[in-house]
Chains A and B, each alone.
Chain A
Amino acid sequence: MRDLYLEKSRKFFLQEAVCASVAFLIAVSVNYIFMIPHGYWIPMTVAVMFALPGQGVIVQRSVDRIFGTVLGLLFSFFYLSLLAYADYRWTYLLPFIFFLMYYCYYISNNYGIMAILMTMFVPILMAMTSEESMPLLPTLMARLCNTTIGIIIALLCEYTIFRFASLTSRDSKHQTREYFKTIGEVVNLCNKCFLDKKKFNKALRADIRKMMANLASLEALYINIKNELDFTESKEAILNRFFYDNNKIAFSIRKILAVISHDSIDESLITKDEFLEISNAISLKYMDVIRYIYEKSDDYTERMATVVSSLNNKCSSPTFFYICELAELNRIFDDFINFVHETRSSKAALSEHYKY
C-alpha cells in the first residue's frame, strides 16, 4: 500500500533541501562578492539555522542565536581582554568552556544558552590557534555582523523559497494519528493478555515504547508550532486539548497495564465474548481516529455506560476497574473528537462571518 504521508514528506523534504542549499550558496556568494572579514561565518550561520529544519525551529533558533551571540561576545570580550591577555594560561579553560557549552545545552535543551558559550569558544580558539595576532574588538564585531547577515539570509530564504515545505503541521497530524493508532494497538494487546492470563509480550512492550516515542516527537513539534506561518489559535487550542486528554489516556493505559500485570479476567462478571466485543470496539475506534475526525461521531458511549452500571455492585474486582478504564478511554476519545468538531465548526462560522 502507498504511504501518502511518506510520499508527501519526501516531496516537502526535497523542497526544503532546495531552500537550504540555495540559502547556503547565497551566503557563500555574499562572502565572495563582498570579501567580508571572517565571511565564512555567514554560510556557517545559515548551515546551523537549517540543521534539522522546521519553520518554527528556524525562527526560534534565530532569536536564540542573536541573543546568544550578543551575550557570548560580551563574555568573550571580558574573558580575553581582562584575563587571557594578562596571563595566557587562562586559555587552558577552553576545554572546560566546551564542556560547559554541552552541559548547559543538555540540561536546558535551550539553544540560546549553547549559543552564548559557542560564541565565547570561537574567538578564544582563534586567539589560540592563529599565528598572527588578531584585533579583538573588530573580530567580535565581525562575528556579530556575519551572524546577523547569516540569519537574515536564512529567514529570507525560508519565507520565500517553498515557504510551506517545512511546516510542522503535517508532521504533528501524522504523529497524532500514529499516537492514537498505537493506543488502539496497546489496548488490543492488553485485552489479549488479560483474556489469556498472560504477562506482557514483546509486541506490547514494543507498542508501549512506540507510544512514548510518538508523544516525545509531538512535544518537540508543539514547542515550535507557535512560530510558524500557518499558526492559528484554534490549532493551538486543539493541541493543548490533545495534550490534556493525552495525559488522561496515558493514566488509563497505565492503570490497565497495572491490572494486567497482576490479574486476569473474572468471568463471573463478564463473559469473554462480551468483554472482547467492547474492548475491540474501543481499540478499533482509536485505530480509526481519522474517520472520526472527519465524519463519524460517537457510537459507543451508551453501550459502555450500560455495561459499567450493570457491574456497579462488583467494584472490588480488577475486571471492573479494567472495564471502567475502557469506558474512560471511550469517553476521552469522544470528548476530544467533539472538541475538534466544535473548534472546526466555530472556525468555519468565523470565516463565513468575515466573508459577508
Chain B
Amino acid sequence: MNLIQKLVDTYDPARESFICALKATIPALIATAIYLYFRRPFSSVFFYTSAYCLVLTFFYPTYKGKITVLAVTIFLAMLGMFTVSILTKHIYTMLFVLFPILMIIFGSMKYKYAASVAPVFIAIALALPTGWREGVNRCIELGISFAICLFCLALYELIFVKYRARSNLVYISELIYDLFFVYTSEDKVFASKKIRYKHLFKKHSLYRTDIIPNKIFKNDSDRFMYKVNLVLTKTLPVVFDEDYIFARSKFYIYGLRDIFTLYRRMYRNISLMTNFEFNLQKLCEHVPLTDKLIENIRARLKNQNRSIYLRQTPNQSVRDPELIEDWMSNLNSFLSKLPPEIDKSEMEYLLGLRYIVHDIDALRAKLRKIRYGV
C-alpha cells in the first residue's frame, strides 16, 4: 500500500491522471450497465464508444467546444457505421461512399480530434452484424453514447471540480515550499534530498515530456525549476480557462483564483533568487536577520500548506511582525548606503525575498478571509 502511495505521489501528485482515467471509465461502466440490462440491439462496440468520445472533450476547455466536438464525432461515426452496415455486401460502392466520409473526418482542421476515434468505430463496424436494421441499431447506440457523454460532463463538474482544484492547489503550495527551501539552502544536493518532491530533480524515462529537460539542462536545480513551471502551466486551465455551468463550482473556482495567482507570483519572486550563489553568512553581514527571516518564511509556508491540506485555520500564527519590520528597516538602511563592490545577483536575491514577504502576507490575508476552506 505504501509503495502504491509512493508511486502515485511521484507520478500523479495532483491526481490529474487519476481523475482523467476515472472520467474515461465511468461512461464505459454506465454503457455496460445499459448493455447488461437490454443486451439487444446493442453490440460490444457500445461498451466503449462513450468512453472514447468523452476523452476528446479533455482537449477543450469550454462546454461549447466539448459538446461540438462530441456532436461532430458522433455524427461522422454514425454516418460511417451506417454506410458500412448497409453496403457491406457491395464492397466497391462501400469504398466509394466511405472515401468522402473519411476525407471529411481526416481533413477537418477545426475538429481534428474527431479523427482520433471516428475511423476506429467505422473499422469496428466491419465486424458487426450488417443490414439496415443493424445500421439503425448502430445509430441508436451512438445516440445513447452521446447522451451518456453529456450526462457525464455535467456529472464530472459536480463531482470533480473541487477535488481537482484542491489537489492542484495542495501540490502547488508544496512545490513552492520545496522551491523556496532549495534556493535558501547552501547545499543544494542535501536540500534536494530533504524536500518532498525530490523526484523532480531526477531524470525520468517514463515521462515522454521529460526528454526536453533531460537533454537541455545539465544542472539539477534548473531542471527542477523547469518542471515546476510545467506543473504551474498545467494547473492554469483548471482555474482560469475552463468554464463551469453550476453556480457552486463557479463560486468555488472564482474564490481560488487569487490564491493560485499569489502562488504564481511567489514562484516568479523565487526566480529572482536563482542567480545568487547562496551564501547566508554574506547575506546576514549585509542585512542582519536574513537567516531568521528565511527560517520564518519556511515555517510560514509549511504552516500554510498544512492548513490548506487540513482546511483548518492554523492553531498558532508563525508570522513574526517584529522580525519582518526589523528586517525591512535593516534592508532599507543597507540599500541607502550600498557598498561599491556589491554583487548584482545578491541584490536581486534580496529583492526577491522582499517580494516574497509582501506576497506571503497577501496570501495569508486571502486564506484567512475564506478561513482556509479551500
Assess A50 versus B106: contact at CB under 8 Å? Given A31-B126, A106-B17, A219-B209: yes
- Give the Cβ gap from B172 to chain A, nearest Cβ, in Å: 15
| A272 interfacial by beta-carbon distance below 8 Å | no
Known contacts A17-B107, A110-B206; decide if A315 and B344 are in contact (CB<8 Å): yes
The 0/1 profile, CB within 8 Å of A marked 1, for residues 76-112 of chain B is: 0000000000000001001100110011011101001
Q: Is the CB of B119 within 8 A of A47?
A: yes
Chain B, residues 202-237, CB within 8 Å of chain A (1/0): the string is 000011110110011100001000100100010010
Contact of A48 among B11, B120, B342 (CB under 8 A): B120
* A17 partner, pick from B32, B106, B222, beta carbons under 8 A: B106
Chain B residue numbers with a CB within 8 Å of A257 are 268
Within 8 A of A (CB), among B6-36: 11-12, 16-18, 20-22, 24-25, 28-29, 32
Are A52 and B119 touching (Cβ within 8 A)? no
| B272 near A16: Cβ-Cβ < 8 Å | no
* A63 contacts chain B at the CB level, 8 A cutoff: no
The interface-forming segment of B178-186, B187-195, B288-296, B350-358 is: B350-358
Contacts A24-B102, A32-B91, A262-B358 given; does A40 touch B123 at CB 8 Å: yes
Contacts of B11 in A (CB 8 A): 107-108
Give every chain B residue within 8 A of A138 (Cβ-Cβ): none
B interface, size bucket? 35 or more
Q: Could you tell me the distance between the alpha carbons of A98 and B21 in the complex, rounded to whole angstroms?
A: 8
Q: Does A5 contact B (CB under 8 A)?
A: no
Decide: B47 and A125 in contact? CB cutoff 8 A: yes
Contact across chains for A44 and B124 when beta carbons are under 8 A apart? yes
The stretch from A65-73, A246-254, A299-307 touching chain B is: A246-254
Interface residues on A, range: 35 or more
A222 at the interface (CB under 8 A from B): yes
A297 proximal to B (CB < 8 A): no
Distance from B230 Cβ to chain A, minimum over Cβ atoms (Å): 9
Q: Which of B103, B120, B208, B269 is A18 in contact with, Cβ under 8 Å?
A: B103
Measured CB to CB, the closest approach of chain A to B297, in angstroms, equals 16
Q: Tell me the interface secondary structure of chain B in the complex.
A: helix
Contact B119 A258 (CB under 8 A): no
Tell whether, in the assembled complex, residue B112 and residue A52 are in contact, meaning their CB atoms are under 8 Å apart: yes
Residues in chain A near residue B340, CB distance under 8 A: 313
Compute how far the CA of A223 lies from the CA of B226 in the bound complex, rounded to whole angstroms: 17
* A52 in contact with B240 (CB, 8 Å): no
* B25 contacts A102, C-beta separation under 8 Å: yes
**Across-interface contacts of A160 in B (CB, < 8 A):** none
The reply to whether A324 and B344 form a contact with Cβ atoms under 8 Å apart is yes
Tell me if B32 and A95 are in contact (CB < 8 A).
yes
Give A93 Cβ to nearest chain B Cβ, in Å: 13
A216's partner among B109, B208, B216, B233 (CB-CB below 8 A) is: B233
Contact with B along A227-260 (1 / 0, CB 8 A): 0000000000000100110010011001101110
One of B29, B126, B236 near A95 (C-beta < 8 A) = B29
Cβ of B44 and Cβ of A126 under 8 Å apart? yes
Q: Which residue of A is nearest B119, CB measured?
A: A47
A63–chain B nearest beta-carbon distance, Å? 13
Known A-B contacts A21-B99, A50-B106, A107-B12; the reply to A247 vs B226 at CB < 8 A is: yes
Evaluate whether A102 and B21 lie within 8 angstroms (CB atoms) in the complex, with A40-B123, A258-B268, A316-B335 already known.
yes
Distance between A220 CB and nearest chain B CB, rounded to angstroms:
8
What would 8 A/B residue contacts be, using CB atoms closer than 8 Å?
Answer: A13-B109, A43-B119, A102-B55, A107-B11, A129-B44, A222-B211, A247-B222, A258-B355
Chain A residues at the B interface, C-beta cutoff of 8 Å: 9-10, 13-14, 16-18, 20-21, 24-25, 27-29, 31-32, 38-41, 43-44, 46-48, 50-53, 95, 98-103, 105-110, 125-126, 129, 205, 209, 212, 215-216, 219, 222-223, 240, 243-244, 247, 250-251, 254-255, 257-259, 261-262, 313, 315-316, 318, 321, 324
Q: What 15 additional pairs, Cβ within 8 angstroms, besides A50-B106, A98-B24?
A: A9-B109, A17-B106, A20-B106, A25-B99, A28-B123, A32-B91, A43-B119, A46-B123, A102-B20, A103-B17, A106-B16, A216-B233, A247-B217, A254-B268, A262-B358
